[in-house]
Structure 1
Amino acid sequence: MPVTEKDLAQDAPWKKIQQNTFTRWCNEHLKCVNKRIGNLRTDLSDGLRLIALLEVLSQKRMYRKYHPRPTFSQMQLENVSVALEFLERENIKLVSIGE
């Protein structure tokens, strides 16, 4: 059964609550490294806050080097890849990840 615009509209408040809750949770953990997330989609896109969050939660440093000042989209993508490789190496599975 295809998803209609009405279905998406009814789903929107729930998604917004989830997004706000996760953002607050991330910010609570990122406080100790003086970082903050305002918008999940844009603020995690360069990988830096994602890497910082993973380091805080795991209390470990990244195995690979990453770009501390990613100026190109390729550098940003590499940073996100470093974070995802870290999760894989730590045997952390990502489930139910969506938009």
Structure 2
Amino acid sequence: MDARASARSREGHAASAGVADKWVLIQENTFRNWVNEQLRPMNMTVTDFEKDFENGVKLCALITVLQGKSPGRVIQSPKNPHQELENVALALSAIANDNIRLVNIGKSQVVILI
């Protein structure tokens, strides 16, 4: 079942697919705007979460802004999937070190391997 189809209203009632899609888009846009506000000091923006966070550079930048420190040595221009995985692993490690549980999220879920 699509996550969008199981969206619920404030009252807990299941929303119809069209309303659920609209709700998900509103949430996605709100989160994107918040992320872009956080990344503004780094002169970065996010338009598509999947593509923009895939190589780990912007994800590490977001972690840097939120935590006030770098997660480690970030490869700014990753040349291959291995380097992208390194960047994402740095970000996920920094999140985990902040005592935030990541359930079923690993570096290979962020980097699209071809």
Query: TM-score normalised to the size of structure 1?
Result: 0.80
From 84, 90, 105, the equivalent of 1:76 is 84
Query: TM-score normalised to the size of structure 2?
Result: 0.70
From 22, 27, 33, the equivalent of 2:36 is 27
Higher relative contact order (CA 8 A, sep 6+): 1
Q: What is the RMSD computed on CA atoms of the aligned residues?
A: 2.2
Q: Secondary structure at the match of 2:96?
A: helix
**Is the counterpart of residue 91 in structure 1 residue 89 in structure 2?**
no
Q: Which residues of structure 2 form unaligned runs of 5+?
A: 7-16, 106-114
Percentage of identical aligned residues: 35
Give the number of aligned pairs. Answer: 92
- List 4+ stretches of structure 1 deviating above 6 A: none
Distance 2:93 2:5 in 1: 35
Q: Which residues of structure 1 form unaligned runs of 5+?
A: none
Per-residue CA deviations over 1:23-78 (Å, capped at 9, x if unaligned) read 0000001101111111111101111111001110111122x323111111121121
- Give the aligned partner of residue 11 of structure 2: none
Q: Secondary structure at the match of 1:68?
A: coil
